[in-house]
Structure 1
Amino acid sequence: MVGRPEPSPSLIRRIEGLARALLPPLLAAVTLIAAAGPTGMPALVPAVALPQVFFWSVFRPGSMSPPTVFSIGLLLDLLSLAPIGTGVFTLLVAHGLAVAWRRFLARQGFWAVWVVFGCFTVGAAALSWLLIAVLSFSLPPPEPMLMEAALSAGLYPIFAFVLGRLHQVMLRAEEAL
């Protein structure tokens, strides 16, 4: 009816909405912690963080807000033993660029998004390398950063597939309301 207020959502609907909003950052945190395990690959932790921040920033930016990205970046710095702030700043820059290009990227196919993400990984690795160089007052070897960029770009299709399916499930749940 016109002029009649809509009833407030039930407790279950509010909990469901909260769960949908918290799932992307919690999934990112859990995969970061799992990647920090004894894998013998120190570049795995940042290589797991960037695809998730990028994907959710493009396809569900409400779930990947700047404070959330800050928290994920801080967890990244702590788990990878990087200078505090390098992962935070790098992920915030990537998030900002992904949100700015969101309208363009969301309409593109997988291959175009993957190519753009590949450019993001190179830029993020270069920014991270530069920040570490400035903070440590020495030039670190570039090979670990290149390995991180290649690993991140290589992992993106797996994350895009899994997160894309999860995003579709979340959209269907929202449409059912």
Structure 2
Amino acid sequence: MTPDQSPALQPGIQPRASLWRRLDALSRRGLPAVFTALSVLLLSAPFDLPGQAELLSGVVLSSVFFWSVFRPASMPSPVVFLLGLLVDLLGFGPPGVMLLILLIVHGIGLSGRYGFARIHVLLLWAVFGGVALAATVLQWGLMSILAFRMMPGVPFVFQWTLALGVFPMLCALFTMMSRTMANPDRA
């Protein structure tokens, strides 16, 4: 080794991260949750757009499912709980329904993430379609039980269709985000 070369660091040994680097990593790790919360706030605003409430469910389900599969550290269970609570507080449905559904979707994404992360995006879309269908049927059933009457099924079919349609666009956006600004390893 010549005098102008510094000794190579041992693999796995790194200097202590500065405060700014730790804050950068924390903000990158929290970006998916912040994006989802802002989407909930935006889609809960009284804009009177057709299908706005149904789109809210699709965006939240897509976000929780995607980040639970590909970056579970960015979408931990307490964050999913808080997002479900936010959706329930701002929504017009019975309290606790979306919270329960989001936690179930999060659990499905976490439990199958090693398999889901390896499959082709079209197959992942089909898996999400099944998960969203089950979540929508569960939501319809719970809302019917809590209302003591059968709820009409057409809005729930529309909600599932919107969730299925918005997933590929959000998947592309989230993939780009996970490679750039939502990647804590790049901090």
Q: Deviations over 1:93-142 (max 9, x none)?
A: 01101111100110011101000001011001011111111222221111
User: 1:77 offset after TM fit, Å?
Assistant: 1.4
Which residue is 1:79 aligned to? 90
Among candidates 31, 40, 50, match of residue 32 of structure 1: 40
Pairwise mapping of residues 88-167 of structure 1 onto structure 2 (< 5 A)?
A: 88-167=99-178
Report whether the alignment pairs 1:13 with 2:21: yes
- Unaligned 5+ segments in structure 1 are none
User: 1:6 offset after TM fit, Å?
Assistant: 5.0
- For normalisation by structure 1, the TM-score amounts to 0.91
Give the Cα separation in 2 of the matches to 1:172 and 1:98: 19
User: 1:8 offset after TM fit, Å?
Assistant: 2.6
Residue identity opposite 1:23 in structure 2: L
Q: Is this contact kept in 1: 2:29–2:183, CA < 8 A? A: no
- Cα pair distance change 1:32/1:112, threshold 3 Å: same
Structure 1 stretch 72-81 or stretch 118-127: which is displaced more? Answer: 72-81
Give the Cα separation in 1 of the matches to 2:157 and 2:137: 8
Moved beyond 6 Å, runs of 4+: none
Identify which of structures 1 and 2 has the higher relative contact order when contacts are C-alpha pairs closer than 8 Å and 6+ apart: 2
Residue identity opposite 1:35 in structure 2: L
- Flag the structure with larger Rg: 2
Q: Counting helix residues as a fraction of each chain, which structure ranks higher?
A: 1
User: 1:7 offset after TM fit, Å?
Assistant: 3.9
- Cα pair distance change 1:104/1:147, threshold 3 Å: same
Residue identity opposite 2:50 in structure 1: G
Which residue is 2:4 aligned to? none
Residue identity opposite 2:34 in structure 1: L
